[in-house]
Amino acid sequence: MLRMAAPEVERELSEEVQEETKTFKELGVTEVLCETCEQLGWKRPTKIQLEAIPIALQGRDIIGLAETGSGKTGAFALPILQTLLETPQRLFALVLTPTRELAFQISEQFEALGSSIGVKSAVIVGGIDMMSQSLALAKKPHIVIATPGRLIDHLENTKGFNLRALKYLVMDEADRILNMDFETEVDKILKVIPRDRKTFLFSATMTKKVQKLQRAALKDPVKCAVSSKYQTVEKLQQYYLFIPSKFKDSYLVYILNELAGNSFMVFCSTCNNTQRVALLLRNLGFTAIPLHGQMNQNKRLGSLNKFKAKSRSILLATDVASRGLDIPHVDVVINFDIPTHSKDYIHRVGRTARAGRSGKSITFVTQYDVELFQRIEHLIGKKLPEFPTQEEEVMILNERVAEAQRFARLELREHGDKKKRPREEDADDAESSLRVRKKVAGGKFRKKIH
């Protein structure tokens, strides 16, 4: 087996000297919001908050380059809420975001930070009934958090709704909004909101499209960057694991056993593989749950909530879930399939080691992935150590894993057939098909593995 580097454990950097960091109060945040931060356990501002909040409070536009998990939502939400307190107004701010999940999370943070001042927000995203959203908009919330496509639908079709008095526009994860071909929608939105407004543009990466948008939408912005190069957070221990592709499933099971007790996010490249691996793991007795684009919105939120509530310890996800999701307790990210775009690597591993916590990432590299892996190492500017494993112990698992693979394939096929039949229950998570499986295996695999 090809070995790329001797195993070594990355040294954790020493704890940041907290006392040297300014407080929210010293940044100019008003008393009532400082109290809320304290209640949320936000003791000191994060780096991006330190940089962005004072500038935003001066009324300047901001272009923010921040790592995932850096606290950027607080960096734009606190100044907006503070200005809203000073000059109360309905339909005060619009936050554009690329995904539905991210929209809900941003809304949760606005509601949490604004809880003591009665802030109302509305989430306007696809996959949810237009009528109930129209009713929410008719109540004129203070903050609208939206994906661009659905917002345009409402701007064009919902009577009485407009954003002509808007004071703040935030474009979060702008690079991703533009990569998802929302450029036309963003242009349309810019045309129907006041020119005289404040704009905050946040992006993980500074692409040409983002620069173009910056020129079109921002006035003399101040740049706030917590990482100028593509970087991953300091407390993240990153490893790779070079393995033949046919043993990927066994190695995954081995690692999940070795690191049992942690919460995992496992990234796969396709919806089908995500579903397959979820079924395979569940057949072996792990509490795994899938999250991918072929599941409907309710099922996706359901999966996410079960994982957030810690009733499931392994979330299998495609890149739909790789960015923006606020899942604070992920201990380990496993790149089961290597990301084809190396920037996705940064976003995936950004799911762990968030907000000062430590975390691990392990990237599976097969004989087909060497070039992609080298590109990732080049992008992050360092060579990763190999994750230590005992090959013999992995090989012992092969037989049981092969049996679980067969069942998973069967279930996938059954599930495919069901989907073809109309009026069948929509069984697009692994949970429902598992019921069939339990009857077959009695769910005894995990005990044997331990």
Interface residue list for ligand AMP (CB under 6 A): 42, 45-46, 49, 69-74, 326, 328, 354-355
69 or 98: whose CB is closer to ligand AMP? 69
Least distance in angstroms from the C-beta of 332 to ligand AMP: 18
24 or 239: whose CB is closer to ligand AMP? 24
Least distance in angstroms from the C-beta of 202 to ligand AMP: 9
69 or 141: whose CB is closer to ligand AMP? 69
Least distance in angstroms from the C-beta of 100 to ligand AMP: 15
Least distance in angstroms from the C-beta of 42 to ligand AMP: 4
Compute the distance between CA of residue 396 and CA of residue 61 in angstroms, rounded to an integer.
59
Least distance in angstroms from the C-beta of 172 to ligand AMP: 9
Least distance in angstroms from the C-beta of 94 to ligand AMP: 17
Are 264 and 330 contacting, i.e. CB atoms less than 8 angstroms apart? yes
Least distance in angstroms from the C-beta of 355 to ligand AMP: 4
107 or 366: whose CB is closer to ligand AMP? 107
70 or 273: whose CB is closer to ligand AMP? 70
355 or 379: whose CB is closer to ligand AMP? 355
Least distance in angstroms from the C-beta of 322 to ligand AMP: 13
45 or 221: whose CB is closer to ligand AMP? 45
The total of other beta-carbon atoms located within 10 Å of residue 233's CB is 23
42 or 161: whose CB is closer to ligand AMP? 42
Q: Which amino acid is at 48?
A: I
